[in-house]
Amino acid sequence: MPLPHSAGRGAPVAVTGAGVVSPIGNTLAAFDAALFAGRSAVHAQALDLPGIELPPVPVASADFDAGAEVAPSRVPLDRATAMALAAARDAASAAGLAPGSFDPERLGIFWGSGMAGAATFEATCRTVYADRRRMRPTSVVTTMPNAPVAEIALLFGARGAALAYACACASSAVAIVLESARHAQARGARPDSLLAGYATNCDGVHITLPDAAGQARAMTAALDDAGLAPGDIGYLNAHGTATTAGDAAEAESVTRVFGARGVPVSATKAIHGHLLGAGGAVELLATLRALNARLLPPTAHVSAADPAFAIDLVTGAARESRTIRAALSSSFAFGGTNAVLVATRAAD
C-alpha cells in the first residue's frame, strides 16, 4: 500500500541514479560500507603555512585524482569542478541518461556550492604573492561559482536552465532537481527512490545563530508538500554540526515536529565530515541509502545523546528498520536558509 500523497501537492520525482565523490568513498559500495559501519573519514592534518606554527586540524578529505578529469571546455579545472564532473558522469550512467538519449532543451543543470574555486584561488594567491608571478588568464572562469554548471552542461549538451545556488551548507539541498516519475517511466527507467516533498525557507532571525522555529516550519512544509504526517517518517538525517547552539536548536525543532523521541535520528557529518555546500546532496544520498537498505546509519563518536535533547539518536551500530517507508533530510545553513527533503521508497 503506497504512502498517501495529497492530490494538491507537488508530484513526486524520481531518483534514477546517483554518483558520489566523498571522503568515505567514490562509489556507492564504498560509501555504504563506511556509512553503515560508522567508519569516520575525519583525520588530523598538519597545516603548511610558512612562518606560522599551528596544531593539526581535523579534516575529511576525498581520495580523488583531479588531474584525471579533462574539462569539456579545455580550460584548467578546479578540484571541486573535477569532482562535479566525475559525480555527474556516474549519476547519469546509473540513470541510463546517455548523451543523445534525451531532449537537450529539457535538460537543466542545477548546482549548489558554499564556496567556489577554493583550490584555484589558493594556488593563485601563492602564485601572485609568494612566487611573484602573474596569475593564469583562465583563473576567472576556473573560480566562478557556476564553473561546475558550465562544464557539466558542456559534457551532456544541456540546453535547459543552468543555475548555481550559493546558500552556505544548504546549497546542494536547495539545488536538488531530479526527474519526474512520469518521464522516468516513459523511458523505462526504474527509480531507486522518490523525492516526495521539498521545502526551503529562511529563519529571518540571525546570520549564524540557528532558529528552532524556522527549522520546524521548513520540516512541516516539506511534510505537507509530501502529503505525509510526522508519524510516517521512519528516519531523519539531521544537519548535526556538533556545535552547542546548532545541536540544541535542531533537537528542539525535531521535538516540535515529531514529538519527544518520535523519530530515529542520526547525524552523518561525523562520518563524512561537514562538506559545506555539498552537505545537503551527500546527506540526501545517505538518507536514500538508509531508506532502501532499511538500515539506519549510526552517529559516529557519540555514545549517547545529550540528556537535555529529547531525541532518539542512533548511536553505536547501525539500526535495522524493517518497516521504514519514508525518511527526511535536513540542511540548516548560515544565513538562515533551511532546506528539507522528504524521500519515500519507490517499491512502496
pLDDT in tens, 283-339: 999 999 999 999 999 999 998 889 999 999 999 999 999 999 999 999 999 999 999
The reported pLDDT for the residue numbered 9 is 61
Angle between helices 147-156 and 79-95 (to 10 degrees): 40
Determine the Cα–Cα distance for residues 184 and 191; give it in Å rounded to an integer: 7
User: What are the extents of the domains in the chain?
Assistant: 13-17+173-345, 40-165
For residue 190, with 0-12 CB atoms within 10 Å meaning exposed, 13-18 middle and 19 or more buried, which class applies?
A: exposed
Length of the chain counted residue by residue: 348
Q: Do domains 13-17+173-345 and 40-165 have the same CATH topology?
A: yes
At residue 192, the pLDDT reads 86
Q: What is the pTM of this model?
A: 0.94
Alpha carbon distance 309, 325 (integer Å): 25
CATH superfamily of 13-17+173-345: Thiolase/Chalcone synthase (3.40.47.10)
Reported confidence tier of residue 10, pLDDT bands at 50, 70, 90: low
DSSP one-letter string for 88-101: HHHHHHHHT--TTS
Q: 10 Å Cβ neighbour count for 315?
A: 15
Q: Which fold has domain 40-165?
A: Peroxisomal Thiolase; Chain A, domain 1 (3.40.47)
Q: Is 202 in contact with 174 (CB distance < 8 Å)? A: no
Quote the DSSP letter at residue 169.
Answer: B
Distance (Å, whole) CA 5 – CA 287: 20
